[in-house]
Amino acid sequence: MWKPEDNQPCFTISAVAKMLKLHPQTLRHYEKAGLIKPHRQGGKSRLYSLADIKKLNKINSLIKDMGVNLAGVEIVLKLMEQMENLQKEFEQKIKEKEKECKEEIERLRRNILNSSS
């Protein structure tokens, strides 16, 4: 079964509107506000990716469930992106430290074995 990549633009505005139960004009409004930037096929028709749909779900939830206005949504999305980037950076640093610790443990183990021989 075919499954699109996260960033592969393949859904039309009408398909996305139906999926998310939104009016296509709402999607255009979000685009005009700079919250989403769908791919333009031939400069005209909009194509959305799975990543766009996930982001639109977040936007819709912030607006409808939490009462956040468009300016607030923009701030929240930027903060969420920064948090995700910091999380990735933190996880990378942890991996690097784990590797350093394992290497140091192995070095100490070799030193102990060599000194006891």
Which CATH number does the domain housing residue 60 bear?
A: 1.10.1660.10
Neighbours of 46 (CB within 10 A): 21
Q: Are residues 9 and 49 in the same domain?
A: yes
Confidence category of residue 95, pLDDT binned at 50, 70, 90: very high
- Cβ contact 64:20 at 8 Å: no
Does residue 5 register a pLDDT over 90? no
Confidence category of residue 1, pLDDT binned at 50, 70, 90: low
Q: Are residues 60 and 4 in the same domain?
A: yes
Does residue 94 register a pLDDT over 90? yes
| Residues 42-57, mean pLDDT to the nearest whole number | 91
> What's this model's pTM, rounded to 2 decimal places?
0.74
Domains: count for the chain = 2
Q: How far apart are CA 46 and CA 44, in angstroms?
A: 7
- Cβ contact 4:10 at 8 Å: yes
- Cβ contact 36:59 at 8 Å: yes
Q: Are residues 6 and 55 in the same domain?
A: yes
Domain that holds residue 17: 1-68
The 10s digit of each residue's pLDDT in 26-47 is 999 999 999 999 999 887 889 9
Confidence category of residue 23, pLDDT binned at 50, 70, 90: very high
Q: Are residues 95 and 106 in the same domain?
A: yes
| Residues 83-88, mean pLDDT to the nearest whole number | 97
